[in-house]
Every structure is written in C-alpha cells, then in structure tokens.
C-alpha cells in the first residue's frame, strides 16, 4: 500500500493527487477489483484465453 507524507507547505489537494497517482501506479485498485469476487481457476483460464485471442485479432490489422 502506497504511503504519502504531506510535505511542508503542501496543500491537501496536492498530497491527495500524489497519493492517487501512487495508488494507480501500484495497481492497488485493479487488484481490489480483481479479488472482489471469487473466480474458479477454469474461469481465469477462459478469460486469459479470450484476452489473448482478442489481442491477436487486433494485432492482425
């Protein structure tokens, strides 16, 4: 979990902006969304297979 220390003479808005940027870089929210519901291993494999197929289809253009 990213930590943000408010610097001297820094507004809360600027610190919040830095915190949000750090969280997005760390991928924390994406990980939370991914773990929100349990997915069976077979479902995960299906999703990866579909994503790979979709990516390959896009690259063909």
Say if 27 falls within a structural domain: yes
Per-residue b/e over 8-38, b at no fewer than 16 CB within 10 Å? eeeeeeeeeebeeeeeeeeeeeeeeeeeeee
Whether 6 is covered by a domain: the verdict is: no
Spell out the per-residue pLDDT of the chain, length 61, in tens. Answer: 788 999 999 999 999 999 999 999 999 998 999 899 999 999 999 999 999 988 776 666 6
In a domain, 2, yes or no: no
User: Does the pTM of the predicted model rise above 0.75?
Assistant: no
Domain of 54, in residue numbers: 12-59
Q: Give the per-residue pLDDT at 61.
A: 64
50 within a domain of the structure (yes/no): yes
Domain membership flag for residue 34 = yes
- Return d(Cα 5, Cα 3) in angstroms, integer: 7
Residues 6+ apart with CB under 8 A from 7: 15
* Residue 54 domain flag: yes
């Amino acid at each position: 979990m990213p930590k943000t220390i408010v610097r001297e003479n820094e507004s809360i808005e600027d610190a919040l902006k830095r915190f949000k940027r750090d969280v997005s870089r760390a991928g924390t929210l994406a990980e939370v969304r991914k773990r929100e519901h349990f997915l069976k291993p077979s479902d995960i494999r299906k999703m990866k297979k579909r994503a790979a197929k979709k990516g390959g289809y896009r690259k063909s253009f």
